[in-house]
Every structure is written in C-alpha cells, then in structure tokens.
Structure 1
Amino acid sequence: MIDRIDRRILSILQEDSTVPVAEIGRRVGLSTTPCWRRIQKLEEEGVIKRRVAILDARSVNVKVAAFISITTSQHNADWLAKFADVIREFPEVVEFYRMAGKVDYLLKVVVPDIEAYDAFYKRLISKIDISDVSTTFAMEEIKNTSQLPLNYVVTEKTREPAKE
C-alpha cells in the first residue's frame, strides 16, 4: 500500500527521474537509504514500471500526431492477437487502445508529415483486414504529459483516495 511519503516520491520521479536519491530523500524527509528502499519497493511492486527520457517530437522529426479510430468486423481472440502483433511492428504507433463504444481500437501515431502517414497507412492495411479507418490529425498540442494524477492513490491509513 502506498503512503503519503511514497506519493511524494512518485510525484518527484514523475517530474524528473534523474533527481538524485539523496535529494528526493531530503525533499520527503528521509535519509538516502530508506528513500532508496522505498523506490526499489515501488519498482518491485510494479508501481514504477520504468524510467525513461521524454523526447521532443520536433527534435526527432515526428511532428505530426495522428489519431486513428479503427472498427473491425472481427471480434475474436485470434484476430485481436494478430492485430496486436501487427501493431507492435510499427514504431510510429506510440499508443494503442481497445475501446468501448462505436470505435473498436484507437491508435496514436507520430510521423514526420502527411506523406509518411500515408506510407504508414498503406503498410498497415496490407498486413491486417480492418473494416473502417478514420484518422484525425492534431493541429496543436495543448497538453501532453506522462505524469499520472496521484490524488486518487488509496493510502495505507484511510484506504480511500488521498484528498491533497
């Protein structure tokens, strides 16, 4: 169970995972060793899945974000497994969701330009049969974060979401 100190550690790490453990400990009121143990425990429990560098899309020439809604007439485990395998082959797909509602799947794809999107689309439809594809392109990125809200974490003492 996560407590208030763990939440503060997670908040710091979500902001900048390169902050030294000693500095994190200072900010949360712990010495280095107990702070490091907490971070290791959060990693072992899978709360911290991995630590990554977040790149600037323009700097790596993937400035176009496309959101692709996919509908299929195939609703079975074999088709889904094949589709998931196909999608994993495409580095342009940075997010992939199975949806509830009118759309079956939603993809977020990043590419340099519309021509690259068209090439991606042609490769995709050559590998898997899909009923309907609808793409929308982002005109402007207004908010993009990897930081999850921590105010819903159930704390050890209250067993209810934190109210901070």
Structure 2
Amino acid sequence: MKKIFLIALIGMLFSCNTSAQKQAVKNTEKETFKVTKTETEWKKQLSAEAFYVLRKAGTERSFSSPLNKNYSKGTYHCAGCNTPLFKSDHKFDSGTGWPSFDREIAGNVSFSTDYNIGYARTEEHCATCGGHLGHVFDDGPRKTTGKRHCINGVALKFVPEK
C-alpha cells in the first residue's frame, strides 16, 4: 500500500508541469498574422525597447512612458504595424504607471493566457502583427466595463484626432 501511494505521489509531482501548460503560455506562436516579419526585419523597424516588448513579450518600466499621462483626443495604434487598438475616450488613470484602457477596439486585439509569473494572466496582442501589448485585468472602472487593459506605452503610437 505504501509503495502504491509513493508511486502515485511521485507521478503527480512530475505531471504538474504538463506540455499543455507550456503550450498555453505562447499559443500566439501558432497563430498566423496578417503582418509577419523576420526577427531581423522587426529589429530594423523598432527601437530596442519596442522590440523587447512587442516581439519578446517584455515589460517596460512603470511610469516611463510619456503616453501614461497623455489625455489628448485620438487613437492609440500598434507601434509595430499601425493597427488602431484603443481610443482615448476609453483611457483612464489606473495609478499603475502604464497606459490603461477600459476596452479595446473590437477585433483589433487578440488574447492568450500566459503563466510567465507562476499563475494565469490574460495577455493582449495586436491581432494584426501579434505584438505583445500587455495584460487585461478585472479591476478596472466598475461604471464602464470593469476591465483594465494595462498596456506598455512603447507598444503604442498615439495618433491625435484631427
């Protein structure tokens, strides 16, 4: 009986980190996007920090983006492919140090699950080029959507309203 229990316990320990979990971390790697470029092409187009965030799923330092406190009227586009992602009407100050929005432009942002810090988070990507934007959380303004799209400013390009 003790041997069976020990074998079962060892089996459970080794099965905790399954290949399904590893696949969920980067399920966008299997997606095909309208805009695709080689790593060399992205490096030529983007700044080092934008490449790190958009192509390597990095995170910029909080409070470092000039877009964090930008409240001008306009649209926030993907810095990689110029797809419109967020409207200034949906931007709010979350106090986190990153540009925050309560909703995305429907169809222009895709979502996946990442486990990079040990638990599941909803990751956001540009639906056109697959660039990493940030994460969405359920602690946004209750009067609107309740969502907080926490976005790296370096992943965005602001286009002012004319």
After TM superposition, the score normalised by the length of structure 1 is 0.25
Which one has a bigger Cα radius of gyration? Answer: 1
Bigger proportion of residues as strand: 2
Higher helix share: 1
- TM-score w.r.t. length of structure 2: 0.26
